[in-house]
Structure 1
């Protein structure tokens, strides 16, 4: 600063400085003396930069408040999403339990239509051996001489029930034990007997299959059934008038599979098929 206090050099340029008449410096005050007096009085002069204008317009208290509001909104949204997921999961669990209870009730009702089912020896494949009461069948690697009958299976190891169903509701159970391969269900009276059978509703067969530790509904193509535990007894329910064929785990009453409703036009017979030679028989339960 020049002695007269009117100008100074800054970065190679000269800028005029005008002192106000009310300025202490214009009245001959000394800056050092002013600072010393302030220190003595316990007050410090503030030389800090006030900051950008937008911060002056938005105090720190307002910034903190806005941040807390935003954080609250985010937490509320997260809680809402978690609650919706929990509610949907509980609703799905409730619906699943309700459907299971309904199917269990259906099974109990189906059991009230218990049918008398026996096996028809005149339809049995030559390697199938029937018990005297016609309720148990076993396959052996041994042929037997049987009279020729028009309804006998000549190629497939199958046998039909003796009783035909052309109306009403009918339920029966079959003990499968630990047999490694079986097919059980119903079929029409004109199912193929001389040549091989293509088991599907299109060919007049509504049945379930167990093969190689896997269960399938004999649709076209086959429908896998993910059972958590192996079956020991199978329940079969036929509602002829409603076109319904359903299967149940006869041990705990759980529903296994129902074929799509259809319109039956021919008599239906209980259907049994025993692939592989296995000493474990299929037994119709009382």
Structure 2
């Protein structure tokens, strides 16, 4: 196994943000610390958004202050605006993420503005991140299909991803938000995007609603992508994407990659311990407690 693929762990943020009951801060920290010890290069730890909209992550500052930071691991947070960025910087985030959409309908539902308006909102965050020397990552939702407006034009994905790249994002994560993408549609989308953004600057973010997440990973690998988002225990679903299931399970992704000859560097034993912890925190997850 020689070709390295980065597994970007999003469970602590994207996974836990929609859990019904508040998960104690100490348990979130324990999960992140286990993931750190497992060897992840990138862990999306939390989100600095309004507690009114995401009460589950209202303890973001406490989480960031108390995690045991591992050498070689970057701790990322979601920052929708300048206020969120300043809080993330104060908390010592290694990188911050902005989140947009390729669907106008989803953009209005998710962040209450048009795609163009969202990019305008992100611009000050991008400038501030550059000045502070903090890496900036971008998310693009609904890259194949939108729950409100149907199929999404690949050129719309290309344009949004390119705008984020021009803004300074070192990587743009392309999200199949509702998990219904067919491999052939994923291929068409990626063929359009890589005309403007190199594959090395793209990540795949697949949900598994239709059981095709790994098929889409295979397509993305063939297109040259070497970074993929996943969530421990398959945690996570978007409240603005009716019917969508959780993110692609980290364990399933790693097993798939290693079967195809790729190297991830993740300690599977520690990952299993993290999944067991997730199963106790979020009973509705896909995590199975190891025997």
Alignment TM-score, normalising by the size of structure 1: 0.26
Which protein is richer in helix relative to its size?
2
Alignment TM-score, normalising by the size of structure 2: 0.25
Structure index of larger Rg? 1
Which protein is richer in strand relative to its size?
1
